[in-house]
């Protein structure tokens, strides 16, 4: 075993003097590459620390099972388009947007919590998915029939759950056409996020 040979022999900056480099993905004990750049690591997302050795990266937003990008709003190129499609498909008081890929992926995401509203016939007429983050709760998808009050009631339910965890804000990324509706529910403009608008609602404040 010789010195670390990563970066054309310049070293990785982590290995000690005279220590060969170990790649945790291919398990090479005298590796010429760092672990994130291992050719045997199937994940193609630079900087990803979540995928196991040999596993491809899954994007929860666009559903790509061999993705080259992260799932969040700043990385997935289909994030904004998916949200726009989700809203545009909800027409005529129906819930067609539940069939959009973005809504389906959000419902399949095991990290998301789900809330549904049904009519007297048992048909789903509104749904909301959300995640509890470290200091706030993120609303991922919200779809509802118009003028029924479902949005207000679902947000109130999410607020109650968030407060139990000590959270003081709800956060979401809205398309521009939906900003007025979210303002009516108490959300405020924060900043643009690509083609979307990040909004936040303080909760638990007297």
pLDDT tens digits along 18-30? 888 888 767 778 8
What local confidence, expressed as pLDDT, does residue 15 receive?
84
Q: Three-state secondary structure along 16-45?
A: CCCCCCCCCCCCCCCCCCCHHHCCCCCCCC
Side-chain-side CA neighbours of 55 within 13 Å: the count stands at: 9
List Cα–Cα distances, 166 to 123, 135, 177, 199, 206, in angstroms. 33, 8, 31, 19, 15
Q: Are the CB atoms for 85 and 178 separated by under 8 Å?
A: no
Block means of pLDDT (10 residues each) for the chain, length 206 residues?
77 82 78 76 75 74 78 66 46 42 75 87 86 90 81 93 93 85 91 84 81
Parts of the chain belonging to CATH 3.40.630.30: 79-202
Could you tell me the CATH superfamily of domain 79-202?
Gcn5-related N-acetyltransferase (GNAT) (3.40.630.30)
Q: Where are the alpha helices (DSSP H) in the chain?
A: 79-88, 101-108, 150-164, 179-184
Over residues 35-80, the pLDDT tens digits come to 777 776 677 888 777 776 667 788 776 777 788 888 775 577 666 5
In this structure, what token pair is assigned to residue 129? 């998915």
* C-alpha torsion 4→9→12→13, nearest 10: 90
pTM for the predicted model, two decimal places? 0.55
């Amino acid at each position: 075993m010789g010195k670390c040979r990563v970066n054309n022999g310049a070293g990785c900056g982590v290995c000690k003097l005279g220590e060969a480099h170990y790649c945790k993905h291919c398990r090479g004990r005298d590796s010429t590459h760092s672990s994130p750049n291992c050719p045997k690591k199937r994940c193609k997302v630079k900087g990803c620390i979540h995928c196991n050795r040999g596993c491809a990266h899954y994007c929860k937003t666009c559903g790509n099972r061999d993705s080259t990008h992260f799932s969040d709003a700043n990385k997935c190129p289909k994030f904004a388009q998916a949200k726009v499609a989700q809203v545009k498909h909800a027409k005529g008081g129906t819930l067609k947007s539940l069939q959009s890929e973005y809504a389906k992926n959000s419902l399949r995401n095991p990290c998301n919590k789900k809330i549904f509203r049904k009519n007297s016939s048992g048909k789903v007429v509104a749904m909301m998915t959300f995640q509890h983050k470290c200091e706030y709760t993120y609303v991922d998808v919200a779809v509802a029939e118009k003028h029924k009050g479902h949005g207000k009631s679902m947000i109130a339910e999410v607020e109650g759950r968030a407060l139990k965890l000590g959270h003081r804000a709800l956060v979401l990324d809205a398309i521009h056409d939906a900003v007025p509706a979210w303002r009516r529910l108490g959300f405020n403009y924060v900043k643009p996020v690509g083609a979307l608008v990040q909004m936040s609602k303080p909760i638990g404040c007297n």
